[in-house]
Amino acid sequence: MINKKSLWFVTLFSLILVLSVYYITMPSEMLLTNGNNYVAETSKETNEEEAVVKVEETDPLEVLRVEANEEMLKEMEELKEVLTNSKSTTEEKNNAFEKMKLLNTTRGEEESLENKIKEEYKYNAFVKIDGDQISVVVNTDKLDVTTANKIMRTVQSNYDKKMYITVKHQK
């Protein structure tokens, strides 16, 4: 009779075997593109594959988000180096850990404010929090003063202390 351990072993081994065979037999162009925005086109004359990059006009808010994410990732890597360095003192490691927690908390607040603005005002927005300063960039051609004021009040309602909030529009 087969016990549970043997059954699990056979099941997992067969799963690994099937995935290995699938990976080996997978077409090479799927591995090269890796699901990105690249398109492989086959030339009829030479039958060689060329990678053609399609460049699309992107949303300016996405550019701001990418820049902010790259900046945050760079800072996180520096803090991880401090945490993993054996020569760092306990105090330095604690400070690095607290900064990492603050970065994660700040990013969560930014995303929640972006979602709140989108729900209440139907605008896509980018929010950047730096201490007590909050910058909001709204994706619209024209933003009137009353709407900007309402956005500022909505953002301030999430905080107990006075925050310095700026609202800009960009298309």
Supply the pLDDT for residue 33.
54
Residue 168 backbone phi and psi in degrees, to 5: -125, 160
Which residue would you say has higher pLDDT here, 26 or 161?
Answer: 161
In a domain, 83, yes or no: yes
For the cut 80, the answer to whether the pLDDT of residue 7 exceeds it is: yes
Instruction: Give 18's contacts (C-beta < 8 A, 6+ positions apart).
Output: none
Contact (Cβ atoms closer than 8 angstroms) between residue 101 and residue 108:
no
Question: Residue 74 maps to which CATH number?
Answer: 1.10.287.4300
User: Averaged over 56-67, what is the pLDDT?
Assistant: 79
In a domain, 142, yes or no: yes
For the cut 80, the answer to whether the pLDDT of residue 120 exceeds it is: yes
Tell me the angle at which helices 90-121 and 60-84 cross, rounded to the nearest 10 degrees: 160
Supply the pLDDT for residue 61.
85
Q: Alpha-carbon distance 138 to 155, whole Å?
A: 13
Supply the pLDDT for residue 38.
44
Number of domains in the chain: 1
Using CA atoms in the order 69, 73, 75, 76, what is the torsion angle rounded to 10 degrees?
Answer: 130
Range of the domain at 137: 60-170
Supply the pLDDT for residue 62.
86
In a domain, 132, yes or no: yes
Contact (Cβ atoms closer than 8 angstroms) between residue 121 and residue 136:
no
User: Averaged over 152-168, what is the pLDDT?
Assistant: 94
In a domain, 71, yes or no: yes
Helix (H/G/I), strand (E/B), else coil: 81? helix
User: Averaged over 104-115, what is the pLDDT?
Assistant: 92
In a domain, 120, yes or no: yes
In a domain, 166, yes or no: yes
In a domain, 161, yes or no: yes
**pLDDT band per the 50, 70, 90 thresholds, residue 42:** very low
Contact (Cβ atoms closer than 8 angstroms) between residue 73 and residue 104:
no
Q: What is the pLDDT of residues 79-93, one digit of tens each?
A: 988 888 888 888 998
In a domain, 118, yes or no: yes
Amino acid at 122: K
